[in-house]
Amino acid sequence: MLKKLFLTGSIFLIALLGLAQSSHDVMIGGGVDLLKTDNRALFKKAQLGLEAHYFVVRHFAVGVGTELWTANQKSSFMMGARWYANDNVFLRFRGLIGANDAAMGLGYSKAISQNFRLEGMGDFYFGAGNFGLRFGASYILR
């Protein structure tokens, strides 16, 4: 009996230590587009995103933020959601209010420490018909 209790407790503890994020955590982060199909010349246009996400449940987060451009459209309000298939891979949907666009993307998140992550994402922008690759970082507030 004691052996089964110890094994069950050990598995439970390992599972808790392995969680990348939990319900009710807040994740803040930002990213910059490394490549976007509407960029005609190198360093002529840049796009930066700043976001905050709230984990409603462990694998689903809702978020708000802003997108900033160096050319044409100067800023846009962002509302979106992320669904994590596992601790690393996620799908995301974002509505860009101001740019009148929406984006659907796939991303990969690599934990560097318990709270700090590096992220890579690919997004398709429906309104503009563009594709972008973004690199970013995020920090989880527990």
Is a pLDDT exceeding 50 seen at residue 5? no
What's the average model confidence in pLDDT over 100-104?
A: 95
Q: Tens digits of per-residue pLDDT, 13-42?
A: 343 334 445 688 999 999 999 888 887 776
Confidence of residue 43 (pLDDT cuts 50, 70, 90): low
Is a pLDDT exceeding 70 seen at residue 12? no
Locate the domains of the chain by residue range. Answer: 21-141
Q: In sequence order, what are the beta bridge partners of 30? A: 50, 137
pLDDT at 125: 94
pLDDT at 21: 57
Give first-to-last CA distance, the chain, whole Å.
35
Which CATH topology does 21-141 take?
Answer: Porin (2.40.160)
Is a pLDDT exceeding 90 seen at residue 49? yes
Which contacts of 51-54 are long-range, i.e. CB under 8 A and separated by 24 or more positions? 51/78, 51/80, 51/138, 52/26, 52/27, 52/28, 53/26, 53/27, 53/28, 53/29, 53/82, 54/24, 54/25, 54/26
